[in-house]
Structure 1
Amino acid sequence: MNLIGGIRRPLGPLLRRLLYPIILDQVGKSLYIQAGVELVGASCIEIGNNVKLLRDVRLNACGKNSKISLKDLVCLDRGVDINVTEHGNCQIEIGERTHISPYTCLGGPGNIKIGKFCLIASHVGIYANNHNFADPTVYIWKQGVTCKGITIEDDCWLGTGVKVLDGVTIGRGSIIGAGAVVTKDIPPCSIAVGVPAKVISQRNSISNPSAKEVGVQVTDS
């Protein structure tokens, strides 16, 4: 990885496509990896067909009994960070044709599952853990964490800056407006905005707001 990770186009992607399958757990065809990508615990990373990892993507699957799985046609844009954390027993899966935009972060140790055909805008945070803090006489970092897991179902669109907290399920076909903080489950085909996020409409409603009113940001897949 040190030898070929920083080589730029056109030679770099070709070399990485040939050599990274040796260290990864599973690799499909036509893998495209740009310069600066970092893979930690590569033997626990599965990558499907026609996946794109753009510059400075970081995948860390070094926790015990953990795995990161990217299905066919997933695109991780520049600076995306996916981290299972050292606690282990964490599964992070990103479904087919999902596009994750620049500088979005996903973190365990709770399991995270993102479905197919999702659009995740830039600077989104998806964090499947929560610190215990009940005892003020003990440092917070010593009190451990809880982890319930996060599920984002198929065909969801998350606007820029959205934060999804542990224990949440976002139903199929939902839209989350820019800057929203999702603390509770969102029903399928909902449009939710705000801090904390609240459902303001359903996609099958005649009175649907426009994307501009909701504050979502278009992402390119």
Structure 2
Amino acid sequence: MDNENVRARLDNCPKLKKLIDWVIMNQVQTRPRWFIRLLAPLYQHRGKHAVIHKSARMDTPPYRKFSLGDYSVIESFACINNAVGDVQIGNHTRIGLHNTVIGPVKIGNHVNLAQGITVTALNHNFTDSNKRIDEQGISTNAVSIEDDVWIGANAVILPGVTIGNHCVVAAGAVVTKDVPPHSLVAGVPAKVIKQI
């Protein structure tokens, strides 16, 4: 049985999905890294010479896709979460120290994410004032970072954003809208400063 069939079966079995969430991503305490390292090769796709540092937190249940391309690196203390959407990382890409990536996110080839970056496609609903926020569910809107992109330290990429080829996002920028190819963006919210 291939991974696609396993994912399809898990999508149709909510109790098993909930059990897997509990085993891999317990809400009360994180699972020991040896436990995750033991199971991960069964469902995570890693390219040739790809590296995931031991202290990276991989919340990657098998019912969503996770792939890391050839010669790509996930550095120490990064957190990758594909529980609500696939996470695909291309070749020769670096996910820096203390980065958080919450799917659905697609990151291209030759992308460099500096330290402390958040890339999230997840948002919590909060429109009903009669309910607590944690009871209102979530929404997702995929993020796409195309090839040859450099994102500076502590930048935030919000849901629904596409960053085009050969772009630079300045340190500390908050990207709320699409970034056209060959652009340098900076600020809160991020704006195009110049074409590169």
Task: Provide the TM-score with structure 2 as the length reference.
Answer: 0.78
**1:186-216 Cα shifts (integer Å, max 9, x gaps):** 000100001111001000xxxxxxxxxxxxx
Deviation at 1:39, TM superposition (A): 4.2
Aligned equivalents of 1:78, 1:189: Cα separation in 2: 30
**Higher helix proportion, which one?**
2
1:113 to 106, 112, 127: 106
Per the alignment, residue 140 of structure 2 pairs with 147
Q: What stretches of structure 1 move > 3 A for 4+ residues in a row?
A: 36-41
Larger Rg: 1
Give the letter for the 1:132 counterpart. Answer: N
Aligned equivalents of 1:139, 1:54: Cα separation in 2: 37
**1:120-171 Cα shifts (integer Å, max 9, x gaps):** 0000001111111111111111111111110000000000001001100000
* 1:1-221 equivalent positions in 2, closer than 5 A: 38-39=36-37, 42=40, 43-62=42-61, 65-85=63-83, 87=84, 90-108=85-103, 111-203=104-196
Aligned residues: 162
Deviation at 1:40, TM superposition (A): 8.4
Cα 1:39–1:165 shift into 2, 3 Å: farther
**Contiguous gaps of at least 5 residues in structure 2:** 1-32
Identity of aligned residues (%): 36
Aligned equivalents of 1:98, 1:72: Cα separation in 2: 8
Q: Name the SS of the counterpart of 1:179 in structure 2.
A: coil
**Contiguous gaps of at least 5 residues in structure 1:** 1-35, 204-221
Task: Provide the TM-score with structure 1 as the length reference.
Answer: 0.70
Aligned equivalents of 2:57, 2:138: Cα separation in 1: 23
Cα 1:40–1:139 shift into 2, 3 Å: farther
Per the alignment, residue 218 of structure 1 pairs with none
The two structures, once aligned, show a CA RMSD in angstroms of: 1.6
Aligned equivalents of 1:119, 1:179: Cα separation in 2: 15
